[in-house]
Structures are given as C-alpha cells and as structure tokens.
Structure 1
C-alpha cells in the first residue's frame, strides 16, 4: 500500500477532476486492487472521526456532554467502516446495472472506479465531523462535491453520453441516499444515539451540460462558491507541488491554506483576545468561570473560549469559537446550509439566516433547556446553551459584542 500514491490520487481527483478522470478510466485495475490501494484507507477517515467525536470528544448539547462508551464506540466505528466498504461495492453494482439505461457500457471495474473516486470528497470532508457544530456543514459540502465528481466521472468510466450524465447521476444519488440512511440508522443503533442530521441543497442553481462535462452555475447561487473553491483548489494544488519540489515550507503552508478556501494563511485569535468577548454577565447571570485555549494540528488551528454563568437554578454556557484556518471551508459550508425547521411535542430545532448570519436554535420543553448559535463573519461561532428560556439564551449571545467580533473576521489573515 503506497500512501503517497493514495494522497496524490485524492488530491488530483479533488482539484483537477476533469483531467484526472480520463487517467483513472484508462489505467488497468481490479476490484481487489482498488479496495486495497484506495478504499480501505480513505473509507476509514469518517469512521475514525466519528469514533473520536462520539467517544473521546463527546457530543455537547444543552450544557451536557455525552460520550458513547469506548466499547460501543469502537464497535460502531468498525461497523460503520465495514458497512461503508459494502455500500461502495453495492453502489458500483447499481451504477453498472444502470449503464445501458443511460447509453453507457457495463463494466464492473469501471463502475467501482466511478463511485470510489467520486466518494473521495465525502470521505475527506468526513474528518470535519470532529469539529463542534459546524463540522456537519463541512461534511455536507464534501458530499455535494462528491455528486459533482460523479457527474464528471461517469462519461469517462461508463462511456455514457455527457448529456445523459445528469439523469444517471441523479438516479444513482437517490438510491445511494436511501442506502446511506439505512447504514446510518444501523450505526446509530450500535453507538447508542439516534442523532442523525440531514440537509438539502435548495439554494443553488446548477446546469449540467456540454460536450466535455462542463458545469454552468448561477453566479449568484451558493453552487457558484463551490465551483470557485474547486478552481482555487486546482491552482493551489499546482502551487503546492512546486513548493514541495523547492522545499519551501512557507510556500507549502500558504498553498495548503488556499486548498482550504483561504486567500492566504489564517492565524486564529489568541486565547487572550477571544476571552475578552465573554461578558461578566449574560442572560442576567453572573459569570462563574472562564477558560480559553488555542489548538492546532494537521494544518487546522482553532481557538475556543467558554464562560459558565449561573445563579443556582439556571445554568448557561457561552462559547465563542474562532475556526481560524477553517475559515474558507466555513464560508462554503455557510453557503450550502439550508433553512430548516423541525417541530415535535417536546420542542423544536431550526436553522435560518438573520441579518446575513447563519443561526441555529433548539429548545426542549421537558428539560426547559436549549441552544442558540450564531455564525459571525463566516468565521466565528457564538453559542449559548443550558437551562434557560430560549429568549434568555438569545440575550446571552447578544451580550457578546458581535459587531466588534465580526470586524475581526480578517484578523490574522495573511495575503499570498
């Protein structure tokens, strides 16, 4: 197993898909080889991220952090991994079976190539699930990009006319969504949580056409931002390759920043800077404790400050996060966040835009607790959660100087 080749292929299919797909289609391969030399590695990324999130970091909701027992977490990770391996193969069978319907040629190995390399974006973005709250949006952006990759890849691998790729892709994705939902339900049952998140892309206008698999997007739509990210990533890939050859570490870091959607390197706020935004009182409660930290790893830097507020009967946690080097990805994720609302007998949960900012709120009538989050400047997340009325949680977030925080959205951003 050559990890360098796996990384090179993943980078190429993500950044230069139009030129990489013909290469993928032409190279000799076997089902076993594709699994051994690619799928077994990348399919493990979201499974491992899920275990880290569920069993090590934990899921925080309403001021309570829940962690799955390590044993069940490991079982869920292994099950998710194994089911994902099976799902890829089943999807390849479906793609192969549908080929004649859309003017293509049946070939089981080429069908496996199509679904495998299209899934690259989804697998890589799955690592973002460990990030608090915003992680699922990044994973969603990766899933959407995988659909785009499949659309581009089908004519090269299955030899179908380009004009039929849109329908071919749509039918494949609908079937895959159902199968993926089933897998998610099985894994959730093992881990012990039924918190499954879904979203729909309803604000992007995309036209799939052209003799060479071109994609035309409405320049005012959210999809245009995804297309722009792909173009930027392609250029950044070339810069990264040149920097690696020259051994220029600074240039490599700058190129990596571009691949994550940034104009340059991004330094998140220091712990001392961000904690100053936590007020002495919030929602009529005095601050009882304060903490802040900045962490970095694998090219990702994040700063988080938390304040605990209470009066003996009510408890609220106010959290401010600077996504730092994930700033570019945050912007893309915000663009694809669909407005949604769910009502139950016990409460509600909804996501919407207010004053140009993405807002997420939830409320549980039984526990009389909730959560209210606002994304500021497509970089900062301000969240209030705990046992208080939803209006009090909103007041807690409003007690933060959001305008001043937003004015720092370009703080620490280095231009290349």
Structure 2
C-alpha cells in the first residue's frame, strides 16, 4: 500500500477507491504503522510549529505562543490522541452495526475509520498557521462524507440506512472525544498557558522516532489481537492504550526519577525571592512517562520567577523536539531579543521582552532533564541565576537513574 497514492485516491476518487479497500486484507498493526502513524504526525508537528514557533497574532498584545515544554507535551498528546481517536471510532462503528441492519466486522470497521480520517489529517497542516486552523472544519465535513460512502461498501450497510448510521457514529465519536479530551487535560494540566514572545526560527524534518514507535506497536500487537479475541471491549481498550503508551515511550532510555527528588532541587529562596508554592507530579500512559517539579518565587515588589524541571526519561522524541527549538540563532528587536544555541554543550533557548520586563531561559541537561525558568518584572541575569540555583551538576549526576539494563 502506497501511502501517498492511497491518500490521494481516497480523497479525490472515493467511490472507486472504497471497493479496492474493501477487498484488502491489511493487518491492524500495518494500518497503524504504515498509514495512520505518518498521517497522525501531521497535526502533531503542525500544531507544535504553529503554537511555539509562529504563534498567534493578537492586536495590542503582539504574538502569543506557548512555551517549548508546553509545545512538547501538546505534540505527544496530539499524536497519541489521533491514534486513539481512529481506534475508538472503529470500535463505535462496529458496535453500532447491528442497529442499522449491518453485521459486525471489526477489520472492515477499522478500515472505514482509518481512511475516513484522511482529509482531517491532511488538512491539519493548516495548524502551522493557527488563524487558518478553522478551515480544517471543512475537511471534517468531507471526512463525514467519506464515511457515508464507505459504510455501504465495507460494512455492507443498506444504502437507506447509511445516513443514519453515519450520523449516529459521528455523534458518538464527538461525545467520546469530549470525554477523552478531559482525560488529556487531566494529564497535561495547565500546560498550555500562552506567553508573549518574539518569533523563533523555522524548523525542519518530521518525527525521527516514528520507526521506533512502529516497532514498539508491532511488539504490542499480540496483546491487542488477544484482547480482540476475548470479545471484551474494555480489554481491547486497555490493550490499545498500553500499545500506544509503549509506542510513545519508544527510545526512552530510563524510568523517570522520583518527583520528590526533583522537588528537592528547588531551593526555598533565590536571593530576595521567597518560594510560595512547590508542586510535583508524574504522568504516564503505558511506557510513556514524565516527571515534573515546579516552584514559584516572589517578593513584595511583584518580582516573580517560576522554575520547572521535567524529566523525560531520555525520550528521543522530547530530546529531538527540544533541539528544534535550540537551533543556533540570535535575533534582536526594539522590544527584546532571542537566542538559541548551546552553553557548555547543552542546548539552550533564551528570550527576553523589555516591556514588563519578562523572559525565559530553558536548557536540556544530560539529554533528559529540561529546566525552564520564567521571570516577570526581573532582568535576564536574575532569571539565569534562578535557573542555575537548581544545580545543573546535581541533575547531571542523576542522568543514569532508572537506566534500563
């Protein structure tokens, strides 16, 4: 199956392509590895670039962007959500089949879900320009039309029942998506709080870890097949979630350190700034795990600094994405400056806004720890001093903790 040709055919000539698809006998893992995963990377990468690199232009406020850390978390969760959404849609389509004069057929239900999503994935490239993202709604409408055309061909649904089958399936998928989005929000918390910054450089490439993810998914395929044979929908959902977690954890070299160890690195005071909050958390989905500690500092003059330490367990995905934001470049305007490069061999990202003033300084340590320091009403020297207060050497000493043997 040629991904480009299939995507082109199902989008431009669906009436002739659906019969071809109906006769194919493609394994679940092959569908996800060779078709869904590459397309699912489009919205993930596009949103990262749009949210963190290009940003949203707001009158009087300038360009609003999320931080690199928030963008990385969003990238991973968007990719995972896309894969899970396709799988859940197939379960819904198959479960609803008897209500519309159709026999259940998990394999065909998966195919009709996978290929109906194609226009949505392709149009997601628009997320590079956040203001144009709403145009992807048109692609969503076309995906509904593809589903309507595909049900009678793949699921053998009576033509007169196809409109109702399509409508009910879409409603159920939307409702389930709302529930799933709340689960994602519970994991990511308030990670997507935007901040105002100047522009960052254009980045290139795609997800270099897709091949490793595919291998992880292939290894987890046996569990998924066994769960399907059991006929238990909950077992199927758990197997799918575990498989996706394993895929997202591909390339991870260690277990994350205990969040309390990260919290211990955040001092009670930095100069005249006193710590007024300290939090730690660990999030996991299968093998994909991150640990995080965060502290907020302030004084009576409203000078504020927030430090976040994130352990990515050596995830190659996170390391590569951070490197995208750390290409060597300097830019300066009347309102501030931005620098990206390396300091003592560590990828760094520094930006400062004179109005306020405000800024942030982020760096990757030992290929797994990301230290992000944000400041308001303080200068960059204070922000860097606060960042160094966590003790980079202490993080370096933890680089082998939890190392998988």
Q: TM-score under structure 2 normalisation?
A: 0.50
Q: Which segments of 5 or more consecutive residues in structure 1 lack a partner in the other structure?
A: 1-18, 37-114, 144-175, 205-222
SS at match of 1:305: strand
- Equivalent residue of 2:211, what SS? helix
1:396 Cα deviation from its structure 2 partner: 1.0
CA pair 397-244 structure 1, distance change in 2 beyond 3 A: same
2:218 is matched with which residue? 238
State the SS of the aligned residue for 1:411. coil
Equivalent residue in structure 2 for 1:398, among 388, 392, 400: 388
Q: CA RMSD in A?
A: 4.8
For structure 2, the residue ranges without an aligned partner over 5 or more in a row are 19-34, 53-65, 79-122, 135-193, 228-234
State the partner residue of 1:296.
Answer: 283
1:237 Cα deviation after fit: 2.4
On the 8 A contact 2:224/2:239 being kept in 1, the answer is: no
Counterpart for residue 130 of structure 2: 184
2:312–2:318 Cα contact (<8 Å) kept: no
Deviation at 1:117, TM superposition (A): 8.5
Distance 1:180 1:239, change over 3 A: closer
CA contact (8 A) 2:216 2:250 kept: no
Q: How many residues align?
A: 260
SS of residue in 1 equivalent to 2:301: coil
- Structure 1 residues 339 and 410: alpha-carbon distance in aligned structure 2, compared to 1, 3 A threshold: same
Aligned to 2:319: 331
Equivalent residues in 2 for 1:97-176, closer than 5 Å = 119-125=39-45, 132-136=67-71
**Per-residue deviation, residues 53-76 of structure 1 (Å, max 9, x unmatched):** xxxxxxxxxxxxxxxxxxxxxxxx
Are 1:24 and 2:13 an aligned pair?
no
CA distance in 1, matches of 2:210, 2:275: 46
Q: CA deviation at 1:363?
A: 1.8
Q: 2:246 aligns with which of 253, 257, 277?
A: 257
2:254 pairs with 1:308: no
Task: Please give the alpha-carbon distance, in whole angstroms, between the structure 1 residues aligned to 2:344 and 2:386.
Answer: 18
Aligned 8 A contact 1:237 1:259 in 2: no
Q: How far did 1:276 drift?
A: 0.4
> How far apart, in 2, do the equivalents of 1:240 and 1:393 lie?
44
The answer for the alignment partner of 2:89 in structure 1 is: none
Deviations 1:303-323 (A, max 9, x none): 332323333225232323324
* Cα contact 2:313–2:368 (8 A) shared by 1: no
* CA distance in 2 between partners of 1:306 and 1:233 (Å): 29
Structure 2 CA distance, aligned partners of 1:117 and 1:302? 22
Q: 1:178 to 1:22 in 2, by over 3 A?
A: closer
Contact 1:370/1:390 (8 A) holds in 2: yes
SS in 1 for 2:261: helix
Q: 1:363-402, aligned counterparts within 5 Å?
A: 363-386=352-375, 387-402=377-392
Kindly provide the CA deviation profile for residues 103-154 of structure 1, in whole angstroms up to 9, marking residues without a partner as x.
xxxxxxxxxxxx99864312145677698523446888999xxxxxxxxxxx
Deviation of residue 397 (structure 1)?
0.9
Instruction: Report if aligned partners of 2:311, 2:369 keep a CA contact under 8 Å in 1.
Output: yes
Closer/same/farther in 2, CA of residues 26 and 374 from structure 1, 3 Å limit: closer
**1:374 Cα deviation from its structure 2 partner:** 1.8
Distance 1:390 1:399 in 2: 14
Change (3 A) 1:360 1:288: same
1:291, distance to aligned residue in structure 2 (A): 1.4
Determine if contact 2:349/2:361 at 8 Å carries over to the other structure. yes
TM-score by length of 1: 0.49
Q: Within the alignment, does 1:357 sit opposite 2:346 as a pair? A: yes
Q: Give the 3-state SS of the residue equivalent to 1:312 in structure 2.
A: coil
**Could you tell me which residue of structure 1 aligns to residue 202 of structure 2?**
200
What is the DSSP-based 3-state SS (H/G/I as helix, E as strand, rest coil) of the residue aligned with 2:68? coil
